[in-house]
Amino acid sequence: MSTTQTPTTSTSTSGSPKPSGYQGTERLLWGIVLAVVTFWLFAGTMGTVAPAVMADINATQPRVNSASMNLAVSITALFSGLFIVLMGGLADRIGRVRITLIGIVLGIVGSLLLVFASGAAALPLLLIGRAIQGFSAACIMPASMALVKTYWDGAGRQRAVSMWSIGSWGGSGLAALFGGVMVNFVGWRGIFIASIVISVIAFLMILGTPESKVEAKGPRKAFDFVGLTLFILGTLCLMIVLLFGSALGWTSATVLILAVVAVVAYVGFVFWERKQANPFIDFKLFANTTFTGATLSNFLVNGTIGMLMVSQQLIQLAGRKADGSAYTALDAGLLTIGYGVFIIAFIRVGEKLLQRFGPRKPMIWGSAIVIVACLLLMATNLLIGQYVILAIIAYCLFGLGLAFYATPSTDAALSNLPADQAGSGAGIYKMASSLGSAIGAAVSLAVFTGLAGGGASLLGNVVQMSGRTDNANLRLAAMVALGVNLIFLLLAILSITITVPKGGGKRDLGKSATTPHPEPQLTPDEEKQAILDRLSHLSTAELGRLEKQVLVNELSDLDTKVLAELVAERRS
Please state, in angstroms and rounded to a whole number, the distance separating the CA atoms of residues 313 and 335. Answer: 12
- Tens digit of pLDDT at every position of the chain (572 positions): 333 332 223 333 334 455 545 777 889 999 999 999 888 777 777 767 777 788 888 888 888 876 577 677 777 888 888 888 788 878 888 889 999 999 999 999 999 999 998 888 888 999 899 989 989 998 998 889 888 888 887 778 778 887 887 787 677 777 878 887 888 788 889 989 998 999 999 999 999 888 887 776 656 667 778 888 898 899 888 877 877 777 677 788 888 999 999 999 999 999 888 887 778 787 877 877 788 888 899 999 988 988 988 888 788 777 777 777 777 778 887 888 888 888 888 888 888 888 888 888 899 999 999 999 999 999 988 888 889 999 999 999 999 999 899 888 887 877 766 666 665 677 688 788 888 887 887 788 778 877 876 655 555 566 777 767 777 788 888 889 999 999 999 999 999 988 876 654 333 333 333 333 334 445 555 666 777 777 777 777 777 788 787 777 776 666 676 667 777 777 76
What are phi and psi for residue 555, nearest 5 degrees? -65, -35
CA dihedral for 3, 221, 432, 235, sign (positive or negative): positive
- Residues in contact with 540: Cβ distance below 8 Å, sequence separation at least 6, in sequence order: none
Full-model pTM: 0.72
- Residues in contact with 143: Cβ distance below 8 Å, sequence separation at least 6, in sequence order: 87, 88, 91, 96, 97, 99, 100, 103, 423
Listed in order, the ranges of the chain carrying CATH 1.20.1250.20 are: 23-217, 286-523
Please state, in angstroms and rounded to a whole number, the distance separating the CA atoms of residues 95 and 99. Answer: 6
The class (CATH top level) of 23-217 is mainly alpha
Instruction: Say if residue 168 is exposed, middle or buried (CB neighbours under 10 Å; 0-12, 13-18, 19+).
Output: buried
Residue type, 323: D
CATH superfamily of 286-523: MFS general substrate transporter like domains (1.20.1250.20)
Q: b/e for 108-135, b at 16 or more Cβ within 10 A?
A: bbbbbbbbebeeeebbebbbbbbbbbbb
Element (H, E) at 526: helix 524-535
Q: Other CB atoms closer than 10 Å to residue 207's CB: what's the count?
A: 15
Please state, in angstroms and rounded to a whole number, the distance separating the CA atoms of residues 419 and 525. Answer: 8
Beta bridge partners of 508: 511
pLDDT computed for residue 491 by the predictor: 94
Please state, in angstroms and rounded to a whole number, the distance separating the CA atoms of residues 140 and 167. Answer: 12
DSSP designation for 187: -
DSSP designation for 320: B
* Cα angle, residue 460 at apex, residues 457 and 465 outer, rounded to 5°: 90
Taking CA atoms, 305 is separated from 277, 445, 475, in Å, by 36, 10, 18
Residue type, 8: T
